[in-house]
Chain A
Amino acid sequence: AQTVTQSQPEMSVQEAETVTLSCTYDTSESDYYLFWYKQPPSRQMILVIRQEAYKQQNATENRFSVNFQKAAKSFSLKISDSQLGDAAMYFCAYRRGGVRTSGSRLTFGEGTQLTVNP
Chain B
Amino acid sequence: DTEVTQTPKHLVMGMTNKKSLKCEQHMGHRAMYWYKQKAKKPPELMFVYSYEKLSINESVPSRFSPECPNSSLLNLHLHALQPEDSALYLCASSQVGRTREFYEQYFGPGTRLTVT
Contact = CB atoms under 8 A, between A and B. Distances in A.
Size bracket of the B interface: 20 to 34
A104 B103 CA distance: 7
Contacts of A100: 96, 103
Interface stretch (A11-19, A43-51, A61-69): A43-51
Interface residues of A, number: 29
Dominant SS at the A interface? loop
Interface in A49-104: 50, 52, 89, 91, 95, 97-104
B110 A43 contact: yes
Contact of A46 (B33, B55, B56, B107): B107
A50 B102 contact: yes
Interface of B: 31-33, 40-43, 45, 48-50, 55-56, 88, 90, 92, 94, 96-100, 102-110
Interface of A: 33, 35, 37, 42-47, 50, 52, 89, 91, 95, 97-106, 108-111, 113
